[in-house]
Amino acid sequence: MKTYQFKLYQHKRNKHLHGAINAASNIYNHCIALHKRYYRLFGKYLNKNKLMKHIAKLRNKNEYWQLVGSQAAQDIIQRIDRAYQLFFKHHKKGVRPPNFRKRIKYKSFTLKQAGYKFLDDNRVRIGKRIFKFWKSREIKGKIKTITIKRNPLGELFMFVVTDFVDTQVSIMTGKSAGFDFGCKVFLTCSDNTEIKSPLFLKQSLKELKLANRSHSRKQKRSNNREKARKHLVRVHEKVVNRRRDWFWKLAQELTDKFDYLFFETLNLKGMQRLWGRKISDLAFAEFLEILDFVATKKGKIVSYIDRWCPSTKTCFKCNYVLDKLGLNERYWVCPGCSTQHGRDSNSSRVIHKVGASTLGLGDVSQFSTAIAV
């Protein structure tokens, strides 16, 4: 599966797509209300097929709901059903059921087999109207779905999902490495290299504070407040885009250099409570998601060791495990073999060693020892 993103031209007829998204939010909230009421009355879960038939009858009587295609309305119900199934399965882990959404926060609707048609000259017919988009690349494969999505600035994008399998020929190096995430150093590699994060949020913090202050001082529901809100959104988007661009380039660099990449499973929510904005700025989860995608495309392997593996307290040379190691202790001497370790560098080598043994790549202790020398 491959997803293409295209931006729609700004045009006055785009108001019809905004109206369709608003109508989709109305259908969504109505379905959530029906789910809650049905459970309150009967103590049972509302079947999605029955709900589809009910919404189809209501949609035929409601002209506003007809702005949304029939398949888009069905997709809304299916998304709610998947959210409830996820809640039933993982509610003990803190997963919450779907809830009502404000119209301004509802962002998209999806069309599947019908309701759209691609035309010449970078045009697409959605419903009865034709819209033009920036066609940055050719669409390959059979189209499965298209999703119309708006961002906080009110701009409209079209996401096209096809069945095309995008493979990339890459040279296999036969190398593997372990990586340790850190707050001071973004990635510490087992080959004794360090990668520091540019901390894009920290760089733009002054500009963000000024934009926030300007927005909060404007009169509510005024045009000036809306202009200030859009400026604030643009500053946030600039931070996100710069960080994402750096992640993609770093993922390409690492997958070109190594065939096997090992990481430790992190408790990001716990780290967020401890270090807050710093963890959000580093965005470990977003980087791993991009790295997984790039590695799969190139035929490389990204593997994770157990969260409870004491990688920081274990000597990579003799496997001695310390009883306790404080967060402020950046260096320690192994009582077993008297080797001095850097906290992050030792952890990355232990992650490499454990990860390689898990995948059956053989003993990497000689490789680690050679690095230490």
Q: What letter represents residue 87's amino acid?
A: F
Distance from C-alpha of 330 to C-alpha of 184, rounded to nearest angstrom = 11
Reported as a pLDDT band with limits 50, 70 and 90, residue 373 is very low
Whether the CB-CB separation of 77 and 48 falls below 8 Å is answered with yes
* Residue 46 Cα to chain centre, angstroms: 30
Q: Which residue reads 């059903």 in tokens?
A: 81
* Tally: H helices and E strands in the chain: 11, 14
Q: What is the pLDDT of residue 166?
A: 74
* 137-190 residue pLDDT tens: 899 989 999 999 999 998 999 999 998 877 776 778 888 899 988 888 898 898
Give the SS3 label for residue 261: strand
Please choose, from the candidates 366, 171, 157, 372, the residue with its C-alpha nearest in 3D space to the C-alpha of residue 256: 171
As beta bridge partners, residue 119 has: 123
* 17-50 residue pLDDT tens: 999 999 999 999 999 999 999 988 988 888 999 9
Give the SS3 label for residue 244: helix
Give the torsion sign (CA, 263, 268, 270, 276): positive
Structure tokens of 350? Answer: 């232990």
Q: What is the pLDDT of residue 372?
A: 32
Q: What is the pLDDT of residue 361?
A: 64
Average pLDDT estimate for 211-229: 94
Q: Which helix (H) or strand (E) holds 112?
A: none
- Is a pLDDT exceeding 90 seen at residue 212? yes
Q: What is the pLDDT of residue 23?
A: 95
The structure's pTM equals: 0.81
Mean pLDDT of all residues in the chain?
A: 87
